[in-house]
Amino acid sequence: VLLQKTMVVVEGVARTLDPAFNMWKTSEPVVGGWISGNLGPRALLADARDGASALLALARQAPDLAARTERLSREIDLMAEHGLRFDERTAHAIGKAEARHTRSGRLALWVIALTLVFIAWKLL
């Protein structure tokens, strides 16, 4: 969309300078080169080569991916049966984070309360 807007502005300015200006005729060498380079037979062959390369890489990884998928499936089944188990360090880190948030919340409440008391005292 931005390219279209830019081309419309350029065409408008160019037609102001030269009423016979034809944007499409002027841009044909550039656009034609882009089309042949990105949509032509060479580009299609390059895309096919890249696709085949990606497919080959996926085929090489297929046994590992299958094994990992099977392992994850077993682990998910175990979690569904027995629940999620945290490592002790993870549980400790979660507890510390919660304590820190609780302290910050309490401090904020005390600051608000003291501010309200100060405002009330000044108003009296």
Q: What percent of the chain has pLDDT over 70?
A: 99
2-52: pLDDT as tens digits = 778 888 888 889 889 988 888 888 888 988 888 888 889 999 999 999 999
The verdict on residue 80 lying in a domain is no
Torsions phi, psi of 114, nearest 5? -65, -35
pLDDT at 54 over 90: yes
The verdict on residue 72 lying in a domain is no
User: Highest-confidence range of 18-27, 64-73, 78-87, by mean pLDDT?
Assistant: 64-73
pLDDT at 69 over 90: yes
The verdict on residue 47 lying in a domain is no
Q: Note the residue count of the chain.
A: 124
Report the number of distinct structural domains present in the chain: 1
Instruction: Report the alpha-carbon distance of residue 97 to residue 74 in Å, rounded.
Output: 31
Distance from CA of residue 80 to its chain's centroid?
30
The verdict on residue 119 lying in a domain is yes
Range of the domain at 112: 87-124
Buried (b) or exposed (e) across 34-66, using 16+ Cβ within 10 A?
Answer: eeeeeeeeeeeeeeeeeeeeeeeeeeeeeeeee
The verdict on residue 55 lying in a domain is no
